[in-house]
Amino acid sequence: MLQNIDLNKILKEVKFNTSRSGGKGGQNVNKVETKVELVYNITGSMVIDEEIKDILRKKLYNKLDSEHNLRITSQTERTQLG
């Protein structure tokens, strides 16, 4: 089950989108893309089996869009590494 999942293979299926974050930013405002969004298509994954997909869809239903993409956004730090 989860023990057999290769994290590197999952990371190859994950998309990271960057953009400019809203709010205060001082010198960085409108210059640096500090907002990062992780997008992972659970249904389309070739790495995880159907049992795990069902568990993820049930546990993360409030973070999934209509196409079962997991979307997590961070824009609280002033760098993408935060």
**pLDDT tens for residues 8-64?**
999 999 999 888 766 555 555 556 556 788 999 999 999 999 999 999 999 999 989
More confidently predicted of 47 and 5? 47
Long-range contacts, stretch 62-67, CB < 8 angstroms, 24+ apart: 67/41, 67/43
Confidence of residue 1 (pLDDT cuts 50, 70, 90): low
Predicted TM-score (pTM) of the model is 0.67
Confidence of residue 68 (pLDDT cuts 50, 70, 90): confident
Going from the N-terminus, what domains does the chain have, and what CATH number goes with each?
2-74 (3.30.160.20)
Report d(CA 48, CA 14) in Å as an integer: 13
What pLDDT sits at residue 74? 79
